Structures are given as C-alpha cells and as structure tokens.
C-alpha cells in the first residue's frame, strides 16, 4: 500500500496547483491520476483567466461582476477571496514562466469576456489552459512530487467519519491498489460526459463528484449546468468566447445581430453572460430564424486573416478541420453545448468537505464561486486560487491517525466488485451510457420542462437498475478501456441523477437553470443552495439559505 500525507486525485490545473501548495507547506504529497497530467482537460481551455491587474480596474468590480453573473446565488465571501487573490495568482503564474500574450509595450494583454464590466481576461493566445497546465506540471516535476499516472481511482475510503485515502485500479496491470492518505483532495474535473453534446473530453465523467457523493458528502447546486453558446454543431468542440471578446458578431438567418435586434442584451449584445446568449440563440432557432442543425452564425470575417492568426489561431484550425468552414472568409455555424458544471462536491473556500480529511477543488468542487452561472475566465482562476488554498489547508490539517486497515478492506471490496463487473452481464456499458447522454441532452438542456425532467429521471432510474447487470466485453487486464468506461458509467449516472433531481425541484429560473413553468427568478423562495445526499433509499434533497453580504440581489440585465 502507498501512503502519503496528502493525496491529490487528479492532475489538471486544480490538482497541480494544490500539489505545489501542499508541498510548499511541507507535506509529503502524491498525485494519482487516470490520465498523464498534461492530457488533463485544463489543456483545452482557450480564452483566458480573469484578474483585475490594471490601475483602472478593481478586484471589487470583478467580485460584483461575478456575483451578478452567478445570478446572486454565489457565495459572496468566497467570490471576494477569489477575486482579491486573482492578481497575485496570475502574476505568480507569470513568474513561473507562463507565456502570456503581451501588449506592444510588453505588459500582459487582457481582452473582453462575457459578463465582465472591464476587459480583464488575461490570455495566452487561444491556448491559455495548455500554457497553464504545462507551466504547473513543470513546477510539480521541479519539486519531485510523486505522480502515479494511469491509475483510475474508484472510491475514497470512509471509516468512523473520516477519510483515510482512496482505492484505484492500475490501468496498466488491472490490479486494485490502496492509497492511504492523511488528506485526500479530489481534483477530478467536470462531468460533461453526462451529456451527448458537450465541449468536454471523454475523460470528464464526474468521477470525483460521484466518489464524494457515495462517501456521504452532499452534491451542491448540481442543477446549474453551463451551456456555452458557441460550440461546433458536429462535434461540440468549443469556439472560445474570446472570439466575441475580440469583436465577433452573432447573426440569425435574416442577417440580424439578434442580441441587439430583439433586445436579449441591449447593452452588451454578444458579450452578455453565457446563459443569456445560449437562450437567445435557441429562441432564434425556435422562432424560425436559425440555420440548419439548430445553429446561428458567428462572424469573424471582419477581423482579417492576420488578427485571427495572431489571437485565435486554434479557432482557425478547429473550424477548418472539424466543420470545414474557413473563418477568414465565412461565418462559423455555432450552437449551445454543455460546457461546465457550476455544481459539485460541497466544500468551503479551503476545499474542506463535511468529511474530515476529504477535500475538493476545481471543477469537481462547488465552493460556490460561480452560483447559477459561471463567467468565462473565472474557472481557471478558481483552479489556481482555490487550488493553492486547498493545498495549504490539507497539508496543515491532514489526519495523523490514518487507518490502513480501512484502506485494505476497501481494496478487497473493490476487487470483489470489479470481479463481479467482469463476470458477464446483460447489456454493454456503452448502450446504457448513450441512453443517459441522449436523454440529458434532450430533456435537461438549456430549456427545461417538468414533464421532460420527469422522463429523464425515469430513464436514469432504469439506467441504475441496468447498471446492476452491466456487461464488460473485454476480459483482459492491461489497458482495459471497456472496464474503465464501465466504472465511469456509475459516475455519469450519479451526476445525471443529482442534476435532474435538483432541476425538477427548483421551481424558478435562475442563471443557467431555466424552467418553462417557472420563468422568473424567485428570490423569496429560492435564494437557496441545493444539497443532494446519497442514501440507501435514493437521493435525499436539503436546502440552505444563500448568505447575502454586500451585493443585494437585483434584476440582472446586460
Ligand atoms: C473547451 C474548454 C475551454 C475552456 N476555456 C476556459 C477558459 O478560457 N477560461 C476558463 O476560466 N475556463 C475555461 N474552461 C473551463 C476550465 O478549463 C475547466 O473548468 C478546468 O480546466 C477544469 O480543471 P480541473 O483541474 O478541475 O480538471 P481537469 O483539468 O479536467 O483535470 C481532471 C484531472 O482528474 C483526473 N481524473 C479524473 N477522474 C479520475 C479518476 N477516476 N481517477 C484518477 N484521476 C482522475 C484526470 O486524469 C485529470 O488529471 C474551459 C473548458 C472547456 C471544456
């Protein structure tokens, strides 16, 4: 059995930043990850990271924009912590060697992003996440932090109200192994694979969220799922908001800039927050003003080739290679696609969960700094600010009396479960996965109705039963991706269920959550966080009031 003071599960931006901070605080740290660190999905982030760096800007304006973007359900203390720390953390990245784009006078360049009152999104061309991930991984290597890569963590180990580590399958050998840890930090990213049309990679299956849930920690605000307005219709690949930040325009089939023309966002137009733009696009399509495949057009042709090459070169390649469209000469067809989970493992600003010794950070966590709708550029920021705090806190507060026998027992239990999974079954895991993804994309999308949500819950309930007799065809031990996908399917089902239950019960429209039957925000009854608990008898839902500090709720317009 492997044993460390702090175990970080996941090696994307959040995990790497937490590992560096825990190591700097003097802990013996190890990372356990199903992918090699630089294959983590943080590498796909394109547009940038927010920080009030300039004299004319103020972190308090950044805080206000974030609270407004969250539709007043984000936790204001945590948002202030994040936005106040943002300049320090971004400058720290720069000092670590991250290659940010520059202005002509050599300062770090910043661009406009949706929902921001000041152009404060710092970027590295349209490859910001790639640069961040590689910079942070260098820091981990420099410190000699142990990285166990290609280990699929299946469970965290709970005994006597404490977390004692985790259990993982070594993907190379198929062996189940125990990891004892004084603190276990879940940094496993988002769960976009719950949906069929998503910007997220195949590895984003909500594993950490599901592990915490099954260990008794509540999932918070899962109903708030972000649908990004500009994804490619055929693949779901993201076309960054940076395109609109640089001046890209959205058109309907009548050649109208509908964001202004139909008053969806009379002031900010294309740069309204993402929930507003996604709803506007789908309304255009529903009212007959869209293009084929439920799309609208994103036009960058007025930029000229040089500007696109310089600031958005990846977009050029993605549109040409995956949609057969050349943004230099023609508009890009785009439509909303699942992009980000505002909800996740309930935790405080230090990442601490209800379970002693268990932490969560990054997209798998819900602090909550994004509330009902995240602003672009604030996720990468959360990774580094909250990553640092979680790393420091877990290093300083890890358990010293870790129960290795609890970990051993959990390894035996997991071996038995995997043997059972491999022993044959009725239906292949991919069929169940596809059914869940389809119903989530059809019924739990941008627009949600009671009937559709109930239908989705029925499909998910059946999927839970079907999973009991799931079939894994590949019986080999080495790199058995069929088995890994079957393990991921349980996470997908857990996330789908908690998203849909939260959405059905929240009888209002707020941020990214929009209900046909309840089209208004209802502050009187719903300034509340949703908490879904796993119980033997199925999910149990509780609510807690949102703490309002300086920023009182008011009508949200852009
Ligand atoms: C296409 C795209 C573009 C984006 N652009 C931006 C942007 O410009 N600005 C911004 O602020 N945000 C952006 N976001 C959001 C942001 O990139 C993500 O929220 C963030 O990178 C998630 O980081 P993370 O560290 O939480 O997770 P990830 O980077 O996804 O890392 C997860 C890690 O967990 C590991 N893992 C997962 N499950 C297991 C398991 N069972 N066992 C072991 N290891 C596991 C993986 O191997 C991986 O190392 C974008 C998102 C997408 C999809």
Q: Whose CA is nearest to atom 2 of ligand 1?
A: 45
**What would the pLDDT profile of 458-467 be if each residue is shown by its tens digit?**
999 999 999 9
Query: Last residue of some domain: 339, 369, 388?
Result: 339
| CA 305 to centroid of ligand 1, rounded, Å | 30
Closest ligand 1 atom to Cα of 241: 8
Concatenating the DSSP letter of every residue in 478-523 gives TT-HHHHHHHHHHHHHHHHHHHHHHHHH--S-BTTB-BSS--S--H
Q: Which numbered atom of ligand 1 lies nearest the CA of 15?
A: 25
Asked if residue 199 and residue 69 are part of one domain, the reply reads: yes
* Average pLDDT score over residue span 9-29: 98
pLDDT tens digits for range 77-106: 999 999 999 999 999 999 999 999 999 999
Instruction: Pick the residue whose CA is nearest to atom 9 on ligand 1.
Output: 377
Burial class (CB in 10 A: 0-12, 13-18, 19+), 206: buried
CA angle 190, 91, 315 (to 5 degrees): 50
CB 271 within 8 A of CB 245: yes
- Which atom in ligand 1 lies closest to the alpha carbon of residue 200? 53
The CA angle 120-263-275, to the nearest 5 degrees, is 50
Most informative mutation of 8, 30, 33 for ligand 1 (most atoms within 8 A of CB): 33
Contact residues of ligand 1, CB 6 A cut-off: 9-15, 32-35, 37, 40-42, 44-49, 128-129, 152-153, 187-190, 199-200, 203-204, 207, 238, 339-340, 362-364, 376-380, 383
Whether residue 412 lies inside any domain: the answer is no
Q: How confident is the model at residue 424 (pLDDT cuts 50, 70, 90)?
A: confident
Q: Are 79 and 114 within one domain?
A: yes
Same domain for 235 and 205: no
More confident residue, 409 or 242: 409
CATH number for the domain that contains residue 441? 3.50.50.60
Phi, then psi, of 344 in degrees rounded to 5: 165, -155
- Give yes or no for a contact between 472 and 482, defined as CB atoms under 8 angstroms apart: yes
Residue 471 falls inside a structural domain:
yes
Q: Whose CA is nearest to atom 8 of ligand 1?
A: 47
Same-domain status, 329 and 350: no
Q: Residue 557: what are its φ and ψ, rounded to 5°?
A: -130, 155
Please give the distance, rounded to the nearest whole angstrom, from the Cα atom of residue 546 to the centre of ligand 1.
27
The angle at the Cα of 330, spanning 325 to 336, to the nearest 5 degrees, equals 65
In a shared domain, residues 332 and 370: no
Segments forming the whole domain that contains residue 188: 1-224+342-397+424-558
Q: What is the pLDDT of residue 310?
A: 87
- Compute, in angstroms, the gap from residue 408 CA to the centroid of ligand 1: 30
DSSP letter for each residue of 344-412 = EEE--TT-B-SSBTEEE-GGGEE-SSSTTSPPTTHHHHHHHHHHHHHHHHHHHS--SS--HHHHHHHHH
pLDDT digits over 330-347, tens only?
999 999 999 999 999 999
Write down the mean pLDDT value for the chain: 96
Task: Tell me: pLDDT of 439 over 90.
Answer: yes
Distances in whole angstroms, Cα of residue 307 to Cα of each of 130, 131, 239, 271, 401: 21, 20, 16, 19, 58
For the stretch 502-537, pLDDT in tens is: 999 999 999 999 999 999 999 999 999 999 999 999
| Spatial separation of the C-alpha atoms in residues 136 and 245, rounded to whole Å | 26
**Cα of 15 to ligand 1 centre, how many Å?**
10
Query: What residue's CA is closest to ligand 1, atom 24?
Result: 189
Residue 255 burial by CB count (10 A; 0-12/13-18/19+): exposed, middle or buried? exposed
Residue 413 in any domain: the answer is no
| Whether the bond into 268 is cis, omega within 30 of 0 | no
State whether 65 and 90 are in the same domain.
yes
Which residues are identified as catalytic?
Answer: 274
Report the predicted TM-score, pTM, of the whole model to 2 decimal places: 0.96
Residue 23 lies in a domain: yes
Going by pLDDT thresholds of 50, 70 and 90, the confidence category of residue 170 is very high
110-168: pLDDT as tens digits: 999 889 999 999 999 889 999 999 999 999 999 999 999 999 999 999 999 999 999 99
State mean pLDDT over 235-245: 93
Residue 523 CA to ligand 1 centre (angstroms): 32
Q: What is the pLDDT, as a whole number, of residue 249?
A: 97
Same domain, 366 and 438: yes
Distance between CA 222 and CA 73 in Å, rounded? 13
Q: Using CA positions, which residue lies closest to atom 33 of ligand 1?
A: 10
Q: Whose CA is nearest to atom 46 of ligand 1?
A: 10
Do 324 and 354 sit in the same domain of this protein? no
Q: Is the dihedral of CA 411, 413, 418, 419 positive or negative?
A: positive
Residue 198 CA, closest ligand 1 atom number: 53
pLDDT, position 311: 86
The reply to whether 116 and 237 lie within a common domain is no
Q: What are residue 528's phi and psi, to 5 degrees?
A: -140, 150
pLDDT of 370 over the 90 cut: yes
Confidence band of 223 (pLDDT split at 50, 70, 90):
very high
- 327 and 353 co-located in one domain: no
Q: Is 137 helix (H, G, I), strand (E, B) or coil?
A: helix
Predicted local confidence at residue 151, as pLDDT: 98
Instruction: Give me 64's structure tokens.
Output: 């206000």
Whether residue 388 lies inside any domain: the answer is yes
Q: Are residues 285 and 379 in the same domain?
A: no
Same domain for 553 and 510, yes or no, is yes
User: What is the whole-number distance in angstroms between the Cα of residue 552 and the centre of ligand 1?
Assistant: 32
Closest atom of ligand 1 to CA, residue 152: 42
CA of 304 to the centre of ligand 1 (A): 32
Best mutation site among 2, 8, 11, 12 for ligand 1, i.e. most ligand atoms within 8 A of its Cβ? 12
Asked whether residue 72 is domain-assigned, the answer is yes
pLDDT at 557: 85
Whether residue 212 lies inside any domain: the answer is yes
Residue 188 within a domain: yes
Last residue of a domain, one of 292, 319, 339: 339
Residue 551 has pLDDT above 90, yes or no: yes
- pLDDT at residue 264, as a whole number: 95
Say if CB 335 and CB 295 are below 8 A apart. Answer: yes
Ligand 1, atom 6, residue with closest C-alpha: 45
What are the tokens at 398?
């890890």
Pick the atom of ligand 1 nearest to 153's CA. Answer: 42
Final residue belonging to a domain, choices 290, 309, 339: 339
CA of 125 to the centre of ligand 1 (A): 19
Number of domains in the chain: 2
CATH number of the domain to which 311 belongs: 3.90.700.10
CA distance 78 to 515: 28
Closest residue to atom 10 of ligand 1, CA basis: 377
């Amino acid at each position: 059995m492997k044993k460390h003071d702090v175990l970080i599960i996941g090696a994307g931006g959040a995990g790497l930043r937490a590992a560096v901070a825990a190591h700097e605080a003097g802990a013996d740290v190890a990372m356990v990850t199903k992918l090699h660190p630089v294959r983590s999905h943080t590498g796909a982030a394109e547009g940038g990271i927010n920080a009030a760096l300039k004299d004319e800007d103020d972190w308090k304006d950044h805080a206000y924009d974030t609270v407004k973007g969250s539709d007043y359900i984000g936790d204001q203390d945590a948002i202030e912590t994040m936005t106040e720390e943002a300049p320090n953390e971004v400058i720290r990245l720069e000092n670590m060697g991250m290659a940010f784009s520059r202005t002509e006078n050599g300062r770090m360049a910043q661009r406009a992003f949706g929902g921001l009152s000041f152009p404060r999104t710092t970027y590295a061309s349209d490859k910001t996440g790639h640069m961040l991930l590689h910079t942070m991984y260098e820091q981990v290597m420099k410190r000699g932090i142990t990285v166990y890569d290609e280990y699929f963590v299946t469970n965290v180990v709970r005994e006597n109200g404490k977390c004692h580590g985790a259990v993982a399958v070594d993907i190379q050998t198929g062996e189940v192994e125990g990891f004892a840890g004084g603190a276990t930090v879940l940094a496993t990213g988002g769960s976009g694979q719950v949906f069929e049309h998503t910007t997220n990679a195949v590895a984003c299956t909500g594993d950490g969220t599901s592990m915490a849930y099954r260990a008794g920690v509540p999932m918070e605000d899962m109903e708030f799922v972000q649908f990004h307005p500009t994804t490619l219709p055929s693949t779901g690949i993201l076309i960054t908001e940076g395109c609109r930040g640089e001046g890209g325009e959205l058109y309907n089939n009548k050649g109208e800039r509908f964001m202004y023309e139909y008053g969806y966002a009379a002031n900010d137009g294309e740069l309204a927050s993402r929930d507003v733009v996604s709803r506007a696009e789908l309304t255009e399509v529903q009212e007959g003003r869209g293009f084929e495949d439920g799309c609208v057009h994103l036009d960058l042709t007025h930029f000229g080739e040089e500007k696109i090459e310089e600031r958005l070169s990846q977009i050029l390649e993605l549109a040409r290679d995956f949609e057969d469209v050349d943004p230099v000469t023609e508009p890009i067809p785009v439509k909303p696609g699942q992009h980000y989970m505002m909800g996740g493992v309930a935790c405080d600003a230090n990442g601490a969960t209800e379970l002693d010794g268990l932490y969560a950070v990054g997209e798998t966590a819900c602090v909550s700094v994004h509330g009902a709708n995240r602003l672009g550029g604030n996720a990468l920021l959360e990774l580094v600010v909250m990553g640092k705090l979680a790393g420091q806190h877990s290093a300083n507060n890890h358990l010293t009396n870790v129960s290795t026998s609890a970990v051993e027992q959990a390894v035996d239990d997991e071996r038995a479960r995997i043997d059972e999974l491999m022993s044959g079954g009725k239906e292949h895991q991919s069929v169940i996965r596809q059914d869940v993804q389809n119903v989530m994309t059809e019924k739990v999308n941008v627009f949600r109705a009671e009937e559709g949500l109930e239908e989705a819950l029925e499909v998910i309930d059946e999927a839970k039963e079907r999973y009991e007799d799931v079939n894994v065809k590949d019986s080999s031990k080495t790199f058995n991706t069929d088995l890994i996908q079957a393990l991921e399917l349980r996470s997908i089902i857990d996330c789908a269920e908690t998203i849909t239950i939260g959405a059905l019960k929240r009888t209002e429209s707020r941020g990214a959550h929009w209900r046909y039957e309840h089209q208004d925000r209802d502050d009187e009854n719903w300034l509340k966080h949703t908490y879904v608990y796993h119980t033997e008898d199925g999910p149990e839902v509780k609510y807690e009031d949102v703490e309002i500090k300086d920023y009182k709720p008011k009508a949200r317009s852009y």
